[in-house]
Amino acid sequence: MITKILPLFISKTVQHTQKMLQDNIYLLSPIQQENLLLNLRQSADPNSQDTDLIKTDIDFILEKDPALTHKEPAEVFLYKSLTLTFLHRIAHRIYKQGDTTSARLLSEIAREMTGAEIHPGVRIGHSIFIDHPMGLVAGESASIGNYFHGHGQVILGSDGINNGYKRHPTIGNNVTIWPKAAILGAKTIGDNTIIGSSAVITEDVPSNSVVVGYNLLIKENGIDKRIDLKQYHQEHFAWVQNQLISTQSKSA
């Protein structure tokens, strides 16, 4: 059933997007308009990369969301996450082509349709599920890996420190971020990590971790930690330094 409905879903999404473009199409030059519409048409092709990627999103949603258990598989097409990821990938492609205005216009339409505000500069991987995406915000230089399970009101934002282009977080693979969490600055969230609801993260997070509250690492590799991330990194740095000194002493 999903295989039959998917082309219709994509076609209807493209048609709806084209209608919404009309109110602001005057912002674009004729060449920009033509290129934007071409990208939308190409994405609607059943053999396009966008179609292949949205299939990975569907599989991941069916795997992750217990609400779909024992229900009609077609219900997955009512999830705004699919609309969001489909349109964002098109916007990101246009952004990389250098047409930032068209890309931003498309991302604004995605925001109106889904409630999530993802800058077209954000790179996302495959198998993405943003559950109830209303209120999610991701800044321009953020990136999101594969098998990402995010939620509404998550913030991937800047910490106000100007580090050049890279001002927003990098999210690894197989990461879950629960609602209202905020990850601020050019920080890295390691693979296989869970960020708790309403957490505030301003430090790098190691892989295979669970983090809650304000930078509180409670588990790493299944081992209880309950340590502030800043202290964790200081201790880890000291350990690495001691190992280097020990190795150098043995070599001497």
Determine whether 244 is exposed, middle or buried from the number of CB atoms within 10 Å of its CB (0-12, 13-18, 19+): exposed
Angle at the Cα of 107 (from 58 to 114), degrees rounded to 5?
A: 50
Average pLDDT over residues 151-166: 89
Alpha-carbon distances, residue 148 vs 6, 12, 92, 177, 248 (angstroms): 21, 25, 17, 8, 41
Q: At what angle do helices 49-64 and 2-21 cross, to 10 degrees?
A: 120
Q: Are residues 14 and 113 in the same domain?
A: yes
DSSP label of 205 = B
Look at phi and psi of residue 22 and say left if phi exceeds 0, alpha if psi is from -120 to 50, else beta. alpha
Tell me: pLDDT of 160 over 90: no
* Average pLDDT score over residue span 4-30: 94
Quick: pLDDT tens for 80-125.
999 999 999 999 999 999 999 999 999 999 999 999 999 999 999 9
In a domain, 125, yes or no: no
Residue 168 lies in a domain: yes
Answer yes or no: do 178 and 99 share one domain.
no
Could you tell me which residues come within 8 angstroms of residue 173 by beta carbon, excluding any fewer than 6 positions away?
A: 125, 145, 146, 147, 148, 191, 192
- Number of domains composing the chain: 2
The CATH number covering residue 151 comes to: 2.160.10.10
Model pLDDT for residues 22-32, shown as the tens digit of each residue? 999 999 999 99
pTM for the structure as a whole:
0.91
Q: Is residue 113 part of a domain?
A: yes
Residue 66 lies inside a defined structural domain of this protein: yes
If asked whether residues 69 and 160 sit together in one domain, one would say no
Domain housing 248: 135-252
Torsion angle defined by CA atoms of residues 193, 194, 198 and 201, in that order, rounded to the nearest 10 degrees? -10
Report pLDDT digits (tens) over 49-66: 999 999 999 999 999 998
What pLDDT is attached to residue 21?
94
